[in-house]
Chain A
Amino acid sequence: MEDAVPESEMSKMTEVVLSVRRDRFPDLDERIVTMVARLLLEQALGTSAIGSQLERIIDDATGFPESASVENVK
């Protein structure tokens, strides 16, 4: 986790997301949650839009490449 997002850059909302993960969703990969939370922080500060990035994180997290998207399933 330290490599993913330095603690100093974490906003309070990211900290809350991570603390909820620790307390109530311990099985969820902390690295994935951190990435999603960081995405949120950037979005909140207007420096990024969530859109496709979130899908990419989920694709990566489930171990399937982006090629497994709906277009290929069709």
Chain B
Amino acid sequence: MSVFIRRLTIENFGPYLGRHLLEFGARPGVWVIYGENGRGKTSILNAFRFALYGEVLGRLGQKRPQDFVNRRHAEEVADARFTLQLDLEMGPDLYQISRSCSVSGQQSLVVKQNNSALSVEGGRRELERMFPPKLADFFLFDGEMLQRYEQLGHPGSAQSDKVRSEVERLLGVTAVEEAREHLDKMQAKFHRELQRVLTRADTGDDKSNMLAQLLGQDERLAADRELIRQKQARNESELKKIEQALEDQEEAQRHLREIESLQNEFDNIQTEIADLNATLSNLAPDLWKSIVGVRVKEMLRSIRSQAAEERTRQASELVRRAIEVMARGVSNGQVCPVCSGVHWSVIELDNAVLEASMLADAGSEFGSTRSEATEDALDQILASSKSGEIRIIRDLMDAKGAAGYLIHRNIQTANTQLLGINREEVRKLVSSRDSAITLRNRINSDLKGCEKDLENVRSNIDRVQAQITEADSAQREIGGKISLCRQLTALFDDAREEYKTRTLREVKERASSLFVRMRAETAYAGLTINENYGLSIVDSAGEVIPNPSAGYEHLVALSLIGALQGIAPMRSPVVIDSPFHRLDPVHTRHSVSALPELAEQVILLTFSEDFNRVDAQTGLGPRLVDEYRIERRSALESHIVQGFN
């Protein structure tokens, strides 16, 4: 079954002064509304949103609806109000939703079915059936708020759990679960009947007594389970209230999470700096060595230089002495240094040379030894000074300090965003939500245990019942009903799992097929899905592509919308603002041709740069039903015009 939007009537909402009509034939196709920036495209998306859900969204979260009463209208009329009317068609039924809000914030809602007004509660129920609020993002898609879609599909997050349960409801999984519950209750009812029959008959045989006992156990366990379920329902209701309250504080929560994360980062840095300081303290006994290290090196160089000078001086002395001895010999006339005549005392000369040589060697050795010993000592000092290590630690501390400073500044900036917000209240809500989620896990575990016990008892009931051969007709009759209920319950248990599996597979296949139609990067082979209906891009080997671009995240979100619409028992229209905002011309062209597959009725809010009219007409062909354009009359006033003639 499909829901179609027949008409949207906007009256004094946002930039739209007076009454404006957007007609959409109740038939499949694509409608395009063109408007340059600031003319009121997002106001039209919000008009749909307010009509369906009574809320208005800005880029940073919810806004006050009363602020959307047209300003000129508000200046002219006391207690002015805007009114939005949505005419829908579902099968043979026509629905008219009329919702308004005054400048004082007073809202009203009237839902008519085939011209008969429904009760407020009845009207809300019908609306929720056609457009489940938790899936609002899948009917009203804002291409500029992609982060809302990125949060989905991460198992464990409150948002994704909510979406999963709603998607399963939309796709009919919940109905199968409910049927199983009905069968279970019926079985319990038949058990009670059988117990009464056995009590009345009072045959006294062992099997009947055992059966009666088992039925008693069954009743007690069923009662326990009911209590656990009531507890579960109370907790879920509490959790829902908390989450609703937190939805209004979405921005505050985001900033608080950011501050918390930054604070953790800051604390980690502080710890690291403290650790580095401790390491420095351990190195403190040797710190002086590092400090005098440079000086010591200078001294070493100086000593080496002195040693070299000493060796040169000793060598010079050797030569000088040798020359002196030779000169003395010559002057004494004892020897001829050329012919080595007898006049010259060779022994004396040899001794002089030897002595000089020894002196020189001693001087050289002394200098060398002294230098080496000094070098060794100084090298040891330098080695133990750990100056390199100390320098690295100092550099690290400087870097950490700078990072800490930046984080501290970011914390201050985030804090300014929370001015006027009662942080304690938000923290309390977050803490309550966490507690409720913990309690939910415990209750679920208790429920599972109880259901297991119940299943065991029921198996025993079946077994004992089969052993009773002398049952009267009333026992046989109820036994037959119990048996049928048991089999149907087991069948629906299996069907539920099978349906979930098939649904996931079908969502994946449809989304993947849509994605492949829209993508230009052939290395991106398709999509994979997790149990929360979160989609990821995969390559041809099935490996997930990490961190795809914003443009591709956009395509993945569109693919999920199309897949859900394609398999839901109830098909609804999709309104998309900035549909191709993040896409290049090639991807835009691909996406345009896939648009009719996203939903039966698609309404686009775009501008000429984002979506060229000629491309629209070429890409969509006859599936393009109609075009509107938004014209600006003044800074505060826009008009909706049909067509371009």
Interface of A with B (CB < 8 Å)? Answer: 11-13, 16-17, 19-21, 24-25, 27-28, 32-33, 36, 39-41, 43-46, 50-51, 54-55, 58-59, 61-64, 68-70, 73-74
Contact = CB atoms under 8 A, between A and B. Distances in A.
Contact of A45 (B176, B193, B569): B569
5 contacts: A13-B495, A32-B488, A44-B174, A50-B179, A63-B480
Nearest to B174: A44
Given A13-B172, A16-B502, A50-B179, A70 B491 contact: no
Given A11-B172, A13-B172, A45-B569, A20 B495 contact: yes
A43 B179 contact: yes
Nearest to B200: A73
Contact of A36 (B129, B179, B567): B179
Given A11-B569, A17-B491, A28-B487, A73 B474 contact: yes
A49 B121 CA distance: 18
Nearest to B491: A25
Contacts of A55: 186
Given A12-B567, A58-B481, A70-B193, A20 B498 contact: yes
B570 A45 contact: yes
A21 B494 CA distance: 9
Contact of B176 (A17, A51, A54, A69): A17
B1 interface: yes
Contacts of A40: 175-176, 178-179
Contacts of B569: 11-13, 41, 44-45
Nearest to A64: B477
B491 A21 contact: yes
B570 A58 contact: no
Given A11-B172, A36-B179, A70-B189, 14 more contacts: A17-B176, A17-B499, A25-B487, A28-B488, A28-B491, A40-B179, A54-B183, A58-B484, A62-B484, A64-B480, A64-B481, A68-B477, A73-B474, A73-B478
B126 to A, nearest CB: 8
B192 interface: yes
Interface string B170-204: 00111110110011001001001100110000000
B480 A62 contact: yes
Contacts of B484: 32, 58, 61-62
Interface string B515-545: 0000000000000000000000000000000
A73 to B, nearest CB: 5
B487 to A, nearest CB: 5
Contacts of A43: 175, 178-179
B492 interface: yes
A42 B179 CA distance: 11
Interface in B586-615: none
Contacts of A36: 179, 488
B466 interface: no
Interface string B494-522: 11001100100000000000000000000
Nearest to A43: B175
Contact of A58 (B129, B179, B186, B499): B186
B485 interface: yes
B490 interface: yes
Contacts of A20: 491, 494-495, 498
B191 to A, nearest CB: 11
A50 B1 CA distance: 20
A52 to B, nearest CB: 10
Contacts of B490: 25
A8 B218 CA distance: 41
Given A24-B491, A28-B487, A54-B182, A13 B499 contact: yes
